[in-house]
């Protein structure tokens, strides 16, 4: 079996290391008998002695990603990857702690995207056999179609760049729109997070389940919210819809469904400034909701989002660690669940050629 290597850029190194540790743990426990059987079949004879357990150093491949004074990006993979199956873990998110002005370092989403492309190119030129871009948060995903004339489809362009750089597969988490899968001509595995939210709520907030209504903040997120409702076995389901009057000058949020006297869980994929989510919260409170919580996969918390959440009627928000949550960590209203276990499981199954269907977003 060709070796497995995990590489990371600067975007979310803590998540990457956590994933690598879980990959090692799973290889040495859950998958040890399967791997021994594969090796036995390929050698054509029983294995002699006991195979040494996998160590973190066997999987982790250190990469140096730095910035020159003019802010050009430099990437160097520090171990051989010839003939290896390499997974590059790099969300294309904004840098969590911005680089001070005048100092070289990542400052925007584009810097993290460039890091990903350069790492993939370096691995390709180093003769890696397979390169899987693990992109927990896919930047530019909201620009997935033309909304007016003379604008780009940026998500498609990013897909082209990743593919052209040399990736042979992509692993993503809760894409903003499922059709982004079709922007790639290489396999893309699209992991879901509904079970993570449901498990967290059942374990830590069972009181939420009484009179709970799961709500989508817009019609485009109905499928995502429905999956969470099904996981929680919640009979209550509703959505909000925008209605424009007077030639589009006046916008009204309509609540489709009954939320009066209910606990409400808003489900969305991205929380950036929080504007859309908090408008939905205000509207649900106006319609008689008793309490409002939120579950958002990608918590960007751009600008003064945390301050706006504190000043709102929102009782609690759950996000994942697809994006580093250093700013929100320890905040009384924010809870973080990890996608590391699912990513590790998906990486192992991809590497071993096993099915990952149970981890994927399916159906409508």
Q: Cite the active site residues.
A: 242
Structure tokens belonging to residue 117: 């492309």
E-strand stretches of the chain: 4-8, 63-67, 73-77, 85-89, 130-135, 169-173, 188-191, 212-216, 236-245, 250-256, 263-271, 291-299, 316-320, 334-337
Burial 255-267 (b: 16+ CB within 10 A, else e): bebebeebbbbbb
User: Quick one: angle between helices 340-352 and 13-28, nearest 10?
Assistant: 60
Beta-sheet pairing, 63-67 with 4-8: unpaired
The Cα–Cα gap between 276 and 284 comes to 12
SS3 category, 266:
strand
Q: Of 56, 114, 122, 60, whose CA–CA distance to 90 is shortest?
A: 114
CA 341 to chain centroid, in Å, comes to 12
The Cα–Cα gap between 228 and 45 comes to 48
Beta-sheet pairing, 212-216 with 169-173: unpaired
- Name the one residue in this structure whose structure tokens are 């750089």: 165
Specify which residues 180 forms β-bridges with: none
Q: In terms of DSSP H, where are the helices of the chain? A: 13-28, 32-43, 56-59, 109-125, 154-165, 194-204, 222-232, 275-286, 305-310, 340-352
Q: How many residues does the chain have?
A: 364
Cα within 13 Å of Cα(100), Cβ side: 1
């Amino acid at each position: 079996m060709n070796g497995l290597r995990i590489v990371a850029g600067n975007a979310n190194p803590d998540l990457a290391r956590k994933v690598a540790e879980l990959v090692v743990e799973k290889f040495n426990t859950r998958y040890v008998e399967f791997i021994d059987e594969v090796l036995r079949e390929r050698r054509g004879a029983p294995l002699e002695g006991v195979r040494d357990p996998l160590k973190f150093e066997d999987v982790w491949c250190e990469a140096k990603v730095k910035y020159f004074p003019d802010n050009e990006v430099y990437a160097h993979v520090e171990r051989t990857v010839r003939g290896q199956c390499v997974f590059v873990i790099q969300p294309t998110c904004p840098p969590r702690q911005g680089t001070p002005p005048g100092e070289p370092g990542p400052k925007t989403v584009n810097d993290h995207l460039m890091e990903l492309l350069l790492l993939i190119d370096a691995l390709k030129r180093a003769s890696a056999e397979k390169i899987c871009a693990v992109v927990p948060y896919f930047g530019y995903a909201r620009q997935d179609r033309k909304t007016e004339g003379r604008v780009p489809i940026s998500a498609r362009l990013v897909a082209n760049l990743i593919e052209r750089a040399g990736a042979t597969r992509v692993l993503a988490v809760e894409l903003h729109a499922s059709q982004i899968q079709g922007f790639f001509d290489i396999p893309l595995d699209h992991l879901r997070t509904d079970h993570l939210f449901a498990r967290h709520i059942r374990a830590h907030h069972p009181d939420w389940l009484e009179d709970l209504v799961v709500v989508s903040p817009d019609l485009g997120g109905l499928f995502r919210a429905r999956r969470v409702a099904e996981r929680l076995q919640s009979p209550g389901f509703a959505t909000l819809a925008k209605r424009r009057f007077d030639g589009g000058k006046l916008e009204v949020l309509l609540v489709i469904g009954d939320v009066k006297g209910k606990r409400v869980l808003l489900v969305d994929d991205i929380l950036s400034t929080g504007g859309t989510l908090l408008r939905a919260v205000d509207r649900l409170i106006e319609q008689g909701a008793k309490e409002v919580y939120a579950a958002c996969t990608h918590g960007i918390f751009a600008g003064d989002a945390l301050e706006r959440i504190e000043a709102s009627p929102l009782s609690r928000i759950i996000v994942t660690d697809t994006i580093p949550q250093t700013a929100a960590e320890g905040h009384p209203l924010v809870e973080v669940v990890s996608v590391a276990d699912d990513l590790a499981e998906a990486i192992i199954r991809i590497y071993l050629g096993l099915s990952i269907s149970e981890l994927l977003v399916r159906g409508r």
